[in-house]
Every structure is written in C-alpha cells, then in structure tokens.
Structure 1
Amino acid sequence: MRKQVGVGLFLKQCIDRLTAAVGLVISSPVMAVTAVGVWATMGRPIFFRQVRPGRGGKSFELVKFRTMREAKDAQGNPLPDAERLTRTGRFLRATSLDELPQLLNVLRGDMSLVGPRPLLVEYLPRYSSEQARRHDVLPGITGWAQVNGRNALGWKERFQLDVWYVDNWSLVLDARILALTFLRVVQRQGISHAGDATMFKFLGDAASPAPPPPPAPGRPA
C-alpha cells in the first residue's frame, strides 16, 4: 500500500494546484460560454453545489455546472434523473464540461486531479471496511474507475478499482489516468449505466460476489 504522505503527496498537491490554476485560466472562455448555455436553457442557479465526503470522510462543497432541471412531483420529491436531465445537460456530461468548475475544488485542496470520485455523504455508512478505504486519499475529478468503465461499471467493481488505486497510486499512474481520461472523453464512453440516465444509487452490496481484479498499469485498460 502506498500512502499519500510525505514528498509524494506534496508533489501531487503542487502539481494539482498549478495545473488547476492554469486550467482555470485556459478554460475560462469555455466556462463562460457554458455558464451562458446553462442559464439560457435551465435558468439559475448555474452551478450545482453539494456537500461530498473527501479524504478521511471530511466534508467539502463540490461545485459543477448544473445539468438537471429542478423538477419535482406532486409530493415535492425530485423527479427521476432521466426526466430532469436536459439536452444541454446531456451534452455537458458527454463532454465532461460540467466537471470544469471542480478545478476550483482542486485549487482549494479539497480534491486532486486524480483520485476516487467523491460520492454522496449518505453512502458512508453503507461501505464495507474495504470499500471505505477509497477515502484514504484525496478524491479526484477523474480516477482509475473512470478510465476503466466509469458509470457503466457496477458499484462493487467500481469500488474495487478505487481501492486498487489507493494501494498502487503514483505520479506516473496519475499521468496515465489523465491521458486515458482525455481518450475516454473523446470516445464518450461510460457516461451512464445501462438502463439509467446517470448511475443508480448505491444501497450497500458488501455481500455481493467480488468482480475480477482490475488491470495493472502497463496493461491495456
């Protein structure tokens, strides 16, 4: 297990923050156009903000471009994702443009460019002790699970990939994941799970059979 401590973690955070700062400057025209598009098609708010658990389960506010309408049923409950996801939202998710504001989270130190995706706070008590180890590192905008299937994966396989990253992370692996992320975005792979507009909720599956082990770096993902 390679813990994110010491010089390795310091270098990772320096690279993250420098890259996030440069990325925010370079992507600012794209973000401005995206913000106008969200406002024109969905109105305000332009950004989606939600508290998520980070490293060690510590909470932070994640920010993304909004992709769904705030539509509710007669009882005041949000409609299913498929009914709230707009055409603009589908495009933003397919191109990952909705993720750009998370560069602010990276700049603040809440997230890394690479790491397990920050999920819902309500999932914390549902993890097995093994799955909970995904919080031993900083969450990321992209990660090993994202380049090996993203939302097309089942939860158990996704968490196994996250924990594998925790045990095997390195700056070289991070660079490989970033390169593969660009490829996956171009290919538009794994945007949603089969039968769902996005990804179904994790209800706890520690008793489910474990999926096969993920590929190691250097082998085709």
Structure 2
Amino acid sequence: MKLGTPISATHLLPDPGSHLTLVGGWLRKSSLDELPQLWNILIGDMNFVGPRPALYNQDDLIAMRTKLGVHQLTPGLTGWAQVNGRDELPIDEKVRLDFFYLLNKSPLLDFKILWLTILKVAKSDGISH
C-alpha cells in the first residue's frame, strides 16, 4: 500500500486499486500477501480454513457474524466465502457463506475449500483490486 492510504477495510475505499504499489498489486493478485498469516496458523491464532478475520473497524461484518454465531469460529487463511466470490461479494453474502460453513464444517468441506482455493489463486479469480 502507498503511504497515506486510509486505515480502512478495502471494500470501504472509493478506489482501492489507486492505493496499491506495483509490487503490492502483484502480491495481492498472487495472494502472496497472505503468507505472513502462516505464522498465525503456527501459533494457533488462525486455521487454514475458516472465515477470514475481520478488521477492527468492520463493524457491519462483526455485528452480522456475531448475530449468527460465526464469530465463534477460528479465523482462517481461506474460507467458504473466499472460494465463492472473494472480493466480489457484498458483506451480507460473505456472512451468509460463513454461516453456511459454521453449519456444515467438516474435514471434507475443509479439503474442498483448500482445493478450490488453490484453483482460485492459480487463476487470480475473484480479486477486484
């Protein structure tokens, strides 16, 4: 991100792409910007699969997840919402997909999500900025 980028959820920025550097854009498109979160998985703060963590200022997302109990799940590097639309989804749709994951969580679903994530990342599918 460029210096001076507002501290805000990406979906709330009027033109998110204008805040990316060339290297940042490439890291985002390739999903390599997620690699530091492997540390969070190693120390147990995250799972490979689960709802993506919310930013502290994503009050709408946090409220909707809390109402449905999704906030009880450990956040993940990837999730059902990510393989079903990623950045292209509105917040309420992401929460609906996170809730589906809560209700249907299983090792088989996790494997499916991991496989679909690999395919999505390879195609840079679902990244809007």
Cα pair 2:48 2:78 within 8 Å, conserved: yes
1:151 matched to 2:124: no
CA distance in 2 between counterparts of 1:122 and 1:90 reads: 23
User: What residue in structure 1 maps to residue 10 of structure 2?
Assistant: none
Letter in structure 2 aligned against 1:94: K
What per-residue deviation string (whole Å, max 9, x for no partner) do you get for residues 72-131 of structure 1?
A: 6xxxx5696333211111111111101011000001111000000001122347623665
Cα pair 1:130 1:163 within 8 Å, conserved: no
1:69 matched to 2:5: no
Cα pair 1:131 1:160 within 8 Å, conserved: no
User: What residue in structure 2 maps to residue 112 of structure 1?
Assistant: 47
RMSD, aligned α-carbons? 2.1
User: What residue in structure 2 maps to residue 103 of structure 1?
Assistant: 38
**Which of 155, 160, 165 pairs up with 2:96?**
160
Q: Residue 134 of structure 1: CA displacement? A: 1.9
Cα pair 1:131 1:159 within 8 Å, conserved: no
Name stretches of at least 5 consecutive residues in structure 2 with no aligned partner.
8-12
- Normalized per residue, the structure richer in helix is 2
- Normalized per residue, the structure richer in strand is 1
Question: TM-score, with normalisation over the residues of structure 2?
Answer: 0.84
Q: Residue 132 of structure 1: CA displacement? A: 4.8
1:170 matched to 2:106: yes
CA distance in 2 between counterparts of 1:177 and 1:128 reads: 22
Name stretches of at least 5 consecutive residues in structure 1 with no aligned partner.
1-67, 198-221
User: What residue in structure 2 maps to residue 142 of structure 1?
Assistant: 78
How many correspondences in the alignment?
A: 122
Larger RCO, structures 1/2 (Cα 8 Å, 6+ apart): 2
Cα pair 1:134 1:163 within 8 Å, conserved: yes
CA distance in 2 between counterparts of 1:86 and 1:128 reads: 32
Percent identity reads 46
Letter in structure 2 aligned against 1:172: L
Tell me which structure has the larger Cα radius of gyration: 1
Cα pair 1:112 1:138 within 8 Å, conserved: yes
- CA gap 1:118/1:130 in 2 versus in 1, 3 angstroms: closer
CA distance in 2 between counterparts of 1:123 and 1:132 reads: 16
Question: TM-score, with normalisation over the residues of structure 1?
Answer: 0.51
